[in-house]
Each structure stands twice: as structure tokens, then as C-alpha cells.
A = this chain, B = another copy of it.
Amino acid sequence: MKKVELNKKKKQDALLNTAYQLFTEKGFQKTSISDIVNEAGVAKGTFYLYFKDKLDIRYKLIAKKSAEVFKHAYQELQKQSIDHFEDQLIFIVDQVIGALNANPTLLKLISKHLSWGMFKNSLVEPIDDAQRNIYDIYMDLLKNSGHEFDHPEVMIYMIIEMVAGSCYNVILTGEPVSVDELKPYLYQSIRLIIQNHIL
């Protein structure tokens, strides 16, 4: 990468990081472009060199942060020696819940915006070639599970929605139970759903 390109990447990162900080601090609506560029130390116009508009930076931010969480969970998985597919998936879910529980502002940000489409698109076009696509990782886990699955897409979809939906309130409000109280039932439900899809 040339010097100029490196500089560009650096500026975009500065904007993304600043935006993350402000969005989680003050909320998306209450954060203005001015806030972001002032904090990031660039000119207003520079923002529009890197992002189409305010929604664009939120989208890119969520994609980036979500990918980080998933990637980290997968890296942790690889440090373990977990054989069964169910255990692997639950391990990843547990890692992700742990990360979000430790960082509720991140949860709030990605919360209602982490759509199926983003997951399918690997949460972001792979910035780094070496990095694996999240969806591909899931497909690999499936393949190596030694099982055949009925509609694996539907299976993962339902699990994601159940986990995401359940955890949102629980982490942010503690209602209707605490995260730790929820987990055993949630993980058991995941196991049941998986087993139900094994052919």
C-alpha cells in the first residue's frame, strides 16, 4: 500500500473509532457529524470523502464491530479442543454473549441493526484476505460436524434471532431474568433446535 493510501485508511479508521465512541456515549441521533469530525480532528468535508452520509458510517461501524466480536469468538474456539458441533456453536454463542454483556453500549449500537443480511454478507466485505468469512466459518463447522442437517440456514437463523432477542433485554434491563439465569435454558433450547435439524 502506498503512503497516500495508508493515510486514507488511517483517517477512515479515526472517523470510525470516533463515531463508535460518540454513538455509544450519546446515541446515534444525538451525535452530529460535527461532533464526529471535531473529535476526530478532520474537516467536515473529509467525512463525506469516506462516508456517503450518517447512516453509512453507522452501517460500516456495526459491520466492523460485529465482525470483531465474531472473529474473536472463533479465535477463542480454536484455542479449545471442542469436538461436537453443538458444543462449538454454544461456545461461540457464549463468547459473544460474554462480549456483549461486558460491553452493553456495543450491544445497544448493533442491537436492532444486526440483520440476517449482514450476517449472510459476513458482516462486512473481508477487509483482510487472510480473514475468513463468518458465514464460511459456520459452513465449515457444519461440514466437519459429521452430521447432515435439514435446512441449516433456517436452523442458524432461528438460533441467532432467539439468542439476539433474548439477550437484548436481559443484558440491558435484567428483565425478566438475569443473563446467568437465562443461559442454561437458552443453551438447552439451542441444543434441542440443533438436534431437531439433524437428519
Q: Does any Cβ of B come within 8 Å of A188's Cβ?
A: yes
Q: Does any Cβ of B come within 8 Å of A69's Cβ?
A: no
| Interface contact A161-B165, CB-CB below 8 Å | yes
Q: Which residues of B contact A120 (CB under 8 A)?
A: 175-176
CA–CA, A154 to B169, complex, Å?
A: 12
Copy number in this complex? 4
A193–chain B nearest beta-carbon distance, Å: 5
Q: Does any Cβ of B come within 8 Å of A82's Cβ?
A: no
| Interface contact B112-A112, CB-CB below 8 Å | yes
| Interface contact A196-B186, CB-CB below 8 Å | no
CA–CA, A112 to B177, complex, Å?
A: 20
CA–CA, A151 to B166, complex, Å?
A: 14
Q: Which residues of B contact A155 (CB under 8 A)?
A: 185
**Which of B112, B116, B158, B176 interacts with A157 by CB under 8 Å?**
B176
22 A–B contacts from the bound complex (CB under 8 Å)? A112-B112, A115-B169, A116-B173, A116-B175, A116-B176, A120-B176, A151-B177, A151-B181, A154-B176, A158-B162, A158-B185, A160-B165, A161-B161, A161-B164, A161-B168, A162-B162, A185-B196, A185-B197, A188-B196, A189-B193, A192-B192, A192-B193
**8 closest A-B pairs by CB:** A161-B165, A162-B162, A192-B192, A165-B165, A112-B112, A153-B176, A161-B166, A116-B169
Q: Which residues of A contact B (CB under 8 A)?
A: 112, 115-117, 120, 151, 153-155, 157-158, 160-162, 164-166, 168-169, 173, 175-177, 181-182, 185-186, 188-189, 192-193, 196-197
